[in-house]
Amino acid sequence: MNTQAKRLTGLLLAPLLGACLLAGCGDGLTSSQSPQKQEKRAREVADAWPGSAAAAAWSKGYYPMADATQPPESGWHSDADKRAYEARTIVRRGKLPTTAIAQGTVKWKSGSTLNRPVMDPNWAYQSFAHFRDKGPRLTVTGVKLGETTISTTRGTATVPAWLFTLDGYDTPLKQVAVTPSKPPKPPIGRAAPGSADGLWSVARLTGTSADGRSLTVRSGHGACDDGPVVKVLETNESVVLYASVKGARSGPCSAEMLQTKVKVELRQPLAHRVVLDALTAQPVPYGT
């Protein structure tokens, strides 16, 4: 989470966490936890998904399961270039063109297709490039529209992509050009306060193992605990994640929201099952 996001989260949570300064972090935040209630909520979410309008919309949408920015196929020329990419220190030489392209087609191996809006190359550039005045950097010298493949909730798809030429490289940096579908409205509402003691939201999915038997997620927690714990309820159609925190401490606590990576083991490969958050009943988004 970047500095601006942390500040915004702090402002949003300040009224809630401010109460901890007076009375200590209690029910619904950190200290009061009921695993039975948490698992019950996860089961309710799992049971509500099959046959719902949300499940139908999810099965027809375009939802990426991999990073939309892809490094050059030729690999990085140096460790400095790799560090620049990881830090997103990527500048451009001159202006990038605008485009009148409105729609692009997502194509799956099954033969299914879906038209999605195409973002302007300048917006695509801004999604992965951040100016920093120190450290190594990469330089974009041009761009054209092409294609790439990306993993999605419906399998691998071929999608339109902006191919950015990098100074000194023969193969481009690729940025997926089409926007994901809007997440469907969950089949049931967010858990009511106190109905699932100590339940926290899973912020995002950041990776899936090659065999599909483990997930890496980012889960939230506060400044007065020992970090998140993420458990899983598996069904044939979904993987429901329910998160809490460990080592919660009462007393004064700063209004700070943190995120920590957690690895979650699955009994069966993820395959095409949807990953759901027990607190919100929504699909857990991939990436930022």
Contact 130, 88 (CB under 8 A): yes
For 115-172, the pLDDT digits (tens) are 999 999 999 999 999 877 788 999 999 999 999 999 999 999 999 999 999 999 999 9
Distance CA(68)–CA(127), nearest Å, equals 9
For 117-129, the pLDDT digits (tens) are 999 999 999 999 9
Query: Which amino acid is it at 262?
Result: V
Query: What integer pLDDT is reported at residue 17 of this predicted model?
Result: 38
Q: What is the residue extent of each domain of the chain?
A: 3-59+185-277, 63-176
Distance CA(201)–CA(281), nearest Å, equals 10
pLDDT of 248 over the 70 cut? no
Summarize the confidence of residues 74-93 as an average pLDDT. 94
Contact 140, 154 (CB under 8 A): no
Query: What integer pLDDT is reported at residue 142 of this predicted model?
Result: 94
Distance CA(17)–CA(92), nearest Å, equals 42
Helix (H, G, I), strand (E, B) or coil at 165: strand
Query: What integer pLDDT is reported at residue 222 of this predicted model?
Result: 63
Higher pLDDT, 208 or 4: 208
Distance CA(218)–CA(201), nearest Å, equals 10
Distance CA(114)–CA(225), nearest Å, equals 44
Query: Which amino acid is it at 42?
Result: A
Residue whose structure tokens are 């506060």 = 222
Q: Pairing between strand 155-166 and 138-152? A: antiparallel
